[in-house]
Structure 1
Amino acid sequence: MAQNRDDDAQDNAKENGNLISSTRRGLMQGVGLGAALSLLGGVAGGGGLISSAQAAEAAFPQHKKWKIVFVNHVTTNPFFVPTQYGIQDACSLLGMDYQWTGSATSDAGEMVRAVNSAIAAKADAIAVPIVDPNAFDKPIQAALDAGIPVFAYNADAPRGKSNPRLAYIGQDLYLSGYQMGERIASLIDSGLVALFIATPGQLNIQPRLDGASDAIKKSGKKIDIQTVATGATVNEELSKIKAFYLGHQDLKGMFAVDAGSTQGVAQVMKESNLPSKGVHGGGFDLLPQTIQLIHEGFLDFTIDQQPYVQGFYTVMEAFTFLASGGLVGPANINTGLKFVTKSTVEPYLNTSTRYEGKTTKPQIVPMSGAIKS
């Protein structure tokens, strides 16, 4: 019976594959669009729309429901809500399962224990932000030795340092910080500028701070940089930013390299109406208050690093690696950098999607207007 089921599954997959191949050939050979759509009728539902499950079934034979364990450094931080939606959507598409675990307070030891637990539980793949330059070398190698592929997401090993992870999926952190520093230097000619960072030294945000500092120094402007540690929770970050401003009311700029601190900067900028005093502010990520206060003119910019795809692409890479038996080698993916300003913030305000973490509802968002790079 089991053999018969396996044969049936292989036959079905072969039929679906032949169907899609014949459709592609038809399109290449000039078959009309209506005929091509009718060829897809066996895979598509009513109206010619193909569900994600049908598409995945047509593309791949039956497989084990592989489980990928995502270890995180701030498991409850709102920044990672869209990341988790990206994970869920990719797992649903590809017939995989996942676990979300790690530390709520950026404790590298806690994260290492979570990686070791995933190895002991025989996870099929592991994803982890490498937020410490050394702590993850041995556990990642142990996972690879056990035949478990490991991917870094959101944070990677420092430049020039070898780590055995297979690929990194996330923003080029130093470059994003450098470009923020260039933007700061274009806004401010001289004076005190505060750079806020939640957890100094952690590799998901420290490279941004380093990049921003380097760009400001390279500008040659007489800008006095002060780095301020704010903490791992949003409330703590806001409190530290308020306290710093009250003690340095002559400052010319407040900028942050993490989501929570950026929201805190935006709140303090509004509470004290700092733009009217010539103070500039900016930072990273798309927390709702940050977006709203950019719209209201209290923050000059924020930088979108697209957290949804940090989850989605990581699952895709793990699936491709597992499905190919390791023949398809993983590749680094830069999830990008987008400056969001008052002139470009409207689409973020006018839509509520899983892609930005604002709603649980799956949806396809229609394109509107010209595409901006």
Structure 2
Amino acid sequence: MTNERDDAQDEVQGAAGEGTANRMRRGLLQGAGLGAALAMMGGMITPAQAAEAPFPSHKRWKIVFVNHVTTNPFFVPTQYGIQDACAMLNMDYQWTGSANADVGEMVNAMNAAIAAKADAIAVPIVDPKAFNGPIQKALDAGIPVFAYNADAPRGSTNPRLAYIGQDLYLSGYQMGERIVSLVDSGLVGLFIATPGQLNIQPRLDGASDAIKKSGKKIEIQTIATGATVNEELSKIKSFYLGHQDVKGMFAVDAGSTQGIAQVMKESKLPEKGVHGGGFDLLPTTVQLIHDGFLDFTIDQQPYVQGFYTVVEAFTYLASGGLVGPADVNSGLKFVTKSTVDPYLNTSTRYEGKSTKAQIVPRSGAIKS
């Protein structure tokens, strides 16, 4: 599975704008996500009608996705969602930005996209002010801009058209409530890759607020771990070695969550009454939840953060701005030992573990 995931990531990083349209259109038109996509396009049509020609001939629009951690495995399914939507809608895309959360590099990538006359731009607004000017510049040039994965702060004047992603503060608050249900008192470490960045800082704020509101005698210590998986793991190990009385370790980003799971396993922390949890579905995280070393992780559905962003851009461009844009909450789902098996028993593009286009069969009652 590891090799397949590596192959998947290699394909994603090299496939921007390549000619996989027909294959992906055939796969996607048969099922998953089509109903939601077509509903967003303003009406329900059959897959057969869609395959014929749902829209008149149009320019092959290009959407530029600026990202803050371009090589992070979290965004592998996001890029597959982008690919699939572009293939279905006859669009191109570019994946660019910064590999290590450098806001200046992201702004430069946005300016390059504007200069190249991109048809649409998508960007995680990870800084409260840095993107206001570039987004307004793009809008003034007639280029629609959408935020995905991270949004401008509530009440800000950022002019982006819509946000596609999780309600970040709420997800953190709900994680804090889960922490309170697991830990009665003592030291709790809250780990964050890059403090202040708007894709994860609101989660940390929400978790801290929920813990404080509980009134329990829980001491919170916040630890910055860094932008890469290796440095995150190193910081988490160092924290535990210096705080072996800790009662819980929880993270607000994917890499730190995986690091916590690894430290929990290496030091056999569940046997010592230590609890752990965090965000996202990196394979190691999912496996170690199954094995009992991590209490939970939170699924924010990265695939749809790419897919729906492309759909919103397409509907906006196709309708001359008459349709959309609209905020889309990509959701929150706690994954625990009792619910983790489907994540282990499938290997698909939807969670970034396979390059193969497929429809995943399911059966039984649907649980909300």
TM-score band (shorter)?
A: 0.7 to 0.9
Match of 2:209 in 1: 214
Give aligned-pair identity as a percent.
Answer: 86
SS of aligned partner of 1:59: coil
Cα distance in 2 for partners of 1:333, 1:87 equals 15
Check the 8 A contact 1:56/1:94 in 2, yes or no: no
Query: Which residue pairs with 1:115 in the alignment?
Result: 110
Residues 138-157 of structure 1 mapped to structure 2, 5 A cutoff: 138-157=133-152
Aligned partner of 1:258 in structure 2 is 253
Output the CA distance in 1 between the equivalents of 2:51 and 2:134.
32
1:236 has 2:246 as partner: no
Helix, strand or coil for the counterpart of 2:366? Answer: coil
Which amino acid is the alignment partner of residue 189 of structure 2? A
Question: Is 1:328 equivalent to 2:323 in the alignment?
Answer: yes
Superposed displacement of residue 56, structure 1? 5.2
- Matched with 2:176 is 181
Superposed counterparts of 1:68-87, under 5 Å: 68-87=63-82
Aligned equivalent of 1:281: 276
Q: CA deviation at 1:329?
A: 2.5
Give the residue type in structure 2 aligned to 1:97.
D
Contact residue 140 and residue 150 of structure 1 kept, 8 A: yes
In the superposition, the TM-score normalised over structure 2's length comes to 0.87
* DSSP 3-state at the match of 1:114: helix
User: Secondary structure of the equivalent of 1:211?
Assistant: helix
Alignment pair present for 1:133 and 2:132: no
Local SS of the residue matching 2:53: helix
Whole-Å separation in 1 of the counterparts to 2:52 and 2:259: 46
One-letter amino acid of the structure 2 residue matched with residue 245 of structure 1: Y
**Partner residue of 2:290 out of 286, 291, 295:** 295
**Superposed displacement of residue 371, structure 1:** 1.2
**347, 352, 357: which one aligns with 1:352:** 347
User: Shift in Å at residue 162 of structure 1?
Assistant: 1.7
Q: CA deviation at 1:372?
A: 1.6
For structure 1, the residue ranges without an aligned partner over 5 or more in a row are 1-42
SS of the equivalent of 2:246 reads: coil
1:306 corresponds, among 296, 301, 305, to: 301
Deviation digits for residues 256-280 of structure 1 (CA, Å, limit 9, x no counterpart)? 0000000000000000010000000
Q: Residue deviations 1:115-173, cap 9 Å, x none?
A: 00000000000000000000000000000000000000000011111210000000000
**C-alpha spacing 1:67/1:57, structure 2 compared with 1 (3 Å):** farther
How large is the RMSD of aligned CA atoms in angstroms? 1.1
Instruction: Return the alpha-carbon distance in structure 2 between the equivalents of residues 149 and 160 of structure 1.
Output: 21
Structure of greater Rg? 1
Q: Distance in 2 between matches of 1:367 and 1:62?
A: 36
User: Which residue is 1:164 aligned to?
Assistant: 159
Instruction: After superposition, give the CA deviation of every residue in 1:269-327 in whole Å (9 maximum; x if it has no partner).
Output: 00001000000000000000000000000000000000000000000000000000001
C-alpha displacement of 1:367: 1.2
- SS of the counterpart of 1:339? strand
TM-score, normalising length: structure 1: 0.86
If asked which structure has higher relative contact order (CA below 8 Å, sep 6+), I would say 2
- The 2-side partners of 1:350 and 1:371 are apart by 17
Q: 1:57 to 1:114 in 2, by over 3 A?
A: farther
> Could you say which residue in structure 2 is the equivalent of 1:197?
192
* Cα distance in 2 between the residues matched to 1:283 and 1:222: 21
Rounded to whole Å, the distance in 2 between the matches of 1:225 and 1:362 is 44
